[in-house]
Amino acid sequence: MTTRHLQDYRTVSIQPETLDGRLDFEAIFGHCGPVEIEIGSGKGTFLVSQGRAFPQTGFLGIEWANKYYRYAVDRIGRWQLANVRLIRTDAAQFLAEHVPEAGVDGFHLYYPDPWPKKRHHKRRFFCEENLARMLACLKPGGWINIATDHTDYFEQIQAVAGAAVAAGRVEGIPFKRPAGAREGEMVGTNYERKYKKEGRPTYTLALEKR
C-alpha cells in the first residue's frame, strides 16, 4: 500500500506565527464576501464540500490535531479551492486575539471532542465563555450551527444556549444542513458516517445572534 505524501499548500495554510492583530478576511480570500469558520475541521470533509458548493464564501477551518490538519491542507490544496483556508491553533485563543469583531457570518461546530470524563468537562469548547467569543465575532444576524453525537455534551450545549436565549443574546433557528449531507444525514462528515454505522444518533442545534 502506497503511503500518501501530504503537501503543505501555502495557498491554503495560515501560519499562526505570522499573525499580528486581527485578520483581514478580504486580503486572505482575495475578495469581499461572506466568511464562515469551522471549529474542528478534522480531515476537511465539510470544508471541501461546502467550499465547492459556495465559491463566493470564504471558509476558514481551525484544527488542532496535526495529523488531521496536514491531511486537510493537502486535500483542500489538491482540490484547488481558493476560498478555503486552514490554521492549526487553539480555537478559543484564535477567536479572542485574531478574528475581527462582527466580521463572521457563521460558525460550524460539528462533532467536537466531548471530553467524556467529568474532570475533563472544562475542556469542552462549547461553554459560556466561548459562546460569548463567537457572538462577539459574529455579524448581527450571524449564526452558529452545532452537531454532536454525545448526549451529555448536547445537554450542556442546550443549557448554555438556553441561558443565552433567555438573556436575549441569541434565538434558536432551524439547523442549516450542509451541502455535503447525503440522504438521511444531517452534516455529511466522516464522523457522522462512522457514528451512524455504530447506531449513534446526531443531535443538532442552531442559534442566531440578535
Q: What is the 3-state secondary structure (H, E, C) of 163-177?
A: HHHHCCCEEEECCCC
**8 in a structural domain:** no
Binned at pLDDT 50, 70 and 90, residue 1 comes out as very low
* Segments forming the whole domain that contains residue 117: 13-209
**34 in a structural domain:** yes
**6 in a structural domain:** no
Q: What is the CATH number of the domain that holds 159?
A: 3.40.50.150
What integer is the mean pLDDT of 50-71? Answer: 97
Note whether 8 and 70 are within 8 A (CB): yes
Range of lowest pLDDT (65-74, 101-110, 186-195):
186-195
Query: Which residue, among 208, 155, 189, has the nearest Cα to 38 in the 3D structure?
Result: 189
**52 in a structural domain:** yes
Number of domains in the chain: 1
φ and ψ at residue 35, rounded to 5 degrees: -130, 130
φ and ψ at residue 161, rounded to 5 degrees: -65, -40
Alpha carbon distance 165, 117 (integer Å): 28
**4 in a structural domain:** no
**42 in a structural domain:** yes
**5 in a structural domain:** no
Alpha carbon distance 146, 176 (integer Å): 9
Binned at pLDDT 50, 70 and 90, residue 206 comes out as very high
**Hey, which residues are catalytic here?**
113
Query: Which residue, among 203, 113, 126, 110, has the nearest Cα to 170 in the 3D structure?
Result: 126
φ and ψ at residue 168, rounded to 5 degrees: 80, 20
Contacts of 56 (CB under 8 A, 6+ apart): 31, 33, 34, 83
**3 in a structural domain:** no
pLDDT at 3 over 80: no
pLDDT tens for each residue of 80-95: 999 999 999 999 999 9
| pLDDT score recorded for residue 36 | 98
